[in-house]
Amino acid sequence: MSTTASNEAQTVACTVENRIAWVSFNRPEKRNAMSPALNRQMMRVLDDIEFRDDVGVVVLTGEGTAWTAGMDLKEYFRETEVLGMAGTRKAQRESYGWWRRLRWFQKPTVAMINGWCFGGGYGPLFSCDLAFASEDAKFGLSEINWGILPGGGASKVAVELLNFRRAMYHAMLGENIDGKTAADWGLVNEAVPADQLKARVTAVAESLLKKNPVALKATKDAIRRVREMTYDNAEDFLVRAQEAANSYDNEGRKEGLRQFIDEKTYKPGLGEYDLSKQKKA
Ligand code: ACO
């Protein structure tokens, strides 16, 4: 591997333990700012883990004090702009590309926000299905502070996740909020003390690993898709989405019903059926 390729490979770290893939932004000395190299590497890592049998859940976190300080202002903006429109569009494709890939990822995804999360970081934040932050993490749409609008989807993420007044204030003032406020505002699911963050995320990931994976993929896509549908369109989409899911796994729900109604070994209202007893398709 050439030095350039090896440097690029190091921008993202990934370890798989007990079916949880821990994927990290790995430029701590640059507060995990997303450079074109990091964006390309993240797509490679996602490619590698998406359909691996030994991966059931993906956690996206950051090495060091940052989750990500957003786009790399030097490498993503200044150094690509000098290449003209082609350079700018290429850099945008590389970043938006892996965020989109992550939005529709096969496996459940959890953002574990351990520190700074700025601007372009809202793209992958929204891409993850769930998000847990350290209480002292800091979130900000800092674009206004250096003179641009929150692009790369960041404005869209703000209005998707926050109410109108909060989105407007957050984007126009460029003030940071901590993890606790981010949880109050709905930017993340929960904020927990920093020393409990990994344990909480691990517990959530372990719960997800016990659920039917085909149903999980259908569910996460359904929640994203129906946001933009009328009630009638959503009703129709959901019927078809379940029928499509049945074409991948026609035994899961039958087994779930069997264990409840016939075997009486669990109650769906109180937990999930035992996946290990399900016949393989
Ligand atoms: N782009 C490029 N380099 C960055 C970025 C970034 N987004 N963030 C940090 N760095 C670099 C710094 O330039 C510095 O590099 P150097 O060591 O070569 O001088 C190094 O990372 C460490 O950064 P410090 O500022 O020294 O770290 P500190 O912990 O004091 O502050 C903080 C962290 C608050 C995150 C600060 O680095 C910062 O404000 N970064 C920019 C955040 C931002 O506004 N991001 C852009 C959002 S807009 C968008 O994404 C489109």
Among candidates 52, 18, 15, 14, which has minimal Cα distance to 206? 18
Ligand 1, atom 30, lies closest to the CA of 31
Specify whether 136 is located in the same domain as 200: yes
The domain boundary, picked from 178, 209, 240, lies at 209
Specify whether 61 is located in the same domain as 30: yes
Specify whether 57 is located in the same domain as 175: yes
Return the axis-axis angle of helices 154-161 and 164-173, rounded to nearest 10°: 150
62 lines ligand 1 (CB under 6 A): no
118 C-alpha vs ligand 1 centroid, how far in Å? 10
Q: In the structure, what pLDDT confidence band is assigned to residue 4 with cuts at 50, 70 and 90? A: confident
120 lines ligand 1 (CB under 6 A): yes
AA letter at 124? P
Q: In the structure, what pLDDT confidence band is assigned to residue 2 with cuts at 50, 70 and 90? A: confident
Instruction: Give pLDDT tens digits for 38-57.
Output: 999 999 999 999 999 999 99
The overall average pLDDT reported for the chain is: 97
118 lines ligand 1 (CB under 6 A): yes
User: Is the model's pLDDT at 3 over the cut of 70?
Assistant: yes
143 lines ligand 1 (CB under 6 A): yes
**Index of the ligand 1 atom closest to the CA of residue 152:** 51
Specify whether 185 is located in the same domain as 75: yes
Specify whether 118 is located in the same domain as 252: no
The domain boundary, picked from 185, 209, 233, lies at 209
239 C-alpha vs ligand 1 centroid, how far in Å? 47
Instruction: Give pLDDT tens digits for 109-154.
Output: 999 999 999 999 999 999 999 999 999 999 999 999 999 999 999 9
Q: What is the mean pLDDT of residues 248-263?
A: 95
Q: Which long-range contacts (CB under 8 A, 24 or more apart) does 125-131 make?
A: 125/67, 125/157, 125/187, 125/188, 126/99, 126/153, 126/157, 126/160, 126/161, 127/99, 127/100, 127/102, 127/103, 128/60, 128/102, 129/220, 130/189, 130/204, 131/187, 131/188, 131/189
Specify whether 169 is located in the same domain as 128: yes
Specify whether 64 is located in the same domain as 153: yes
Specify whether 246 is located in the same domain as 134: no
Ligand 1, atom 26, lies closest to the CA of 30
The domain boundary, picked from 158, 182, 209, lies at 209
| Count of beta carbons in the 10 Å neighbourhood of residue 94 | 21
Specify whether 177 is located in the same domain as 225: no
Specify whether 170 is located in the same domain as 149: yes
Q: What is the mean pLDDT of residues 233-252?
A: 96
Instruction: Give pLDDT tens digits for 163-177.
Output: 999 999 999 999 999
**Index of the ligand 1 atom closest to the CA of residue 118:** 47
- Which H or E run contains 68? strand 66-68
User: Is the model's pLDDT at 281 over the cut of 70?
Assistant: no
Q: How far apart are CA 122 and CA 193, in angstroms?
A: 21
Could you tell me the residue range of the domain that residue 245 belongs to?
Answer: 213-277
User: Is the model's pLDDT at 76 over the cut of 70?
Assistant: yes
Q: How far apart are CA 34 and CA 171, in angstroms?
A: 20
CA 272 to chain CA centroid, Å, is: 24
- Which H or E run contains 201? helix 197-209
Q: How far apart are CA 34 and CA 95, in angstroms?
A: 8
What is the best residue among 63, 73, 138, 156 to mutate for testing ligand 1's pocket, by most ligand atoms within 8 Å of CB?
73
Specify whether 222 is located in the same domain as 169: no
Instruction: Give pLDDT tens digits for 212-235.
Output: 999 999 999 999 999 999 999 999
- Which H or E run contains 79? helix 79-81
Please count the structural domains in the chain. Answer: 2
Specify whether 82 is located in the same domain as 66: yes
Looking up residue 62, the CATH number of its domain turns out to be 3.90.226.10
Q: What is the pLDDT of residue 1?
A: 75
- The end-to-end CA distance of the chain, in Å, is 40
Among candidates 172, 121, 164, 168, which has minimal Cα distance to 148? 172
Q: What is the pLDDT of residue 5?
A: 85
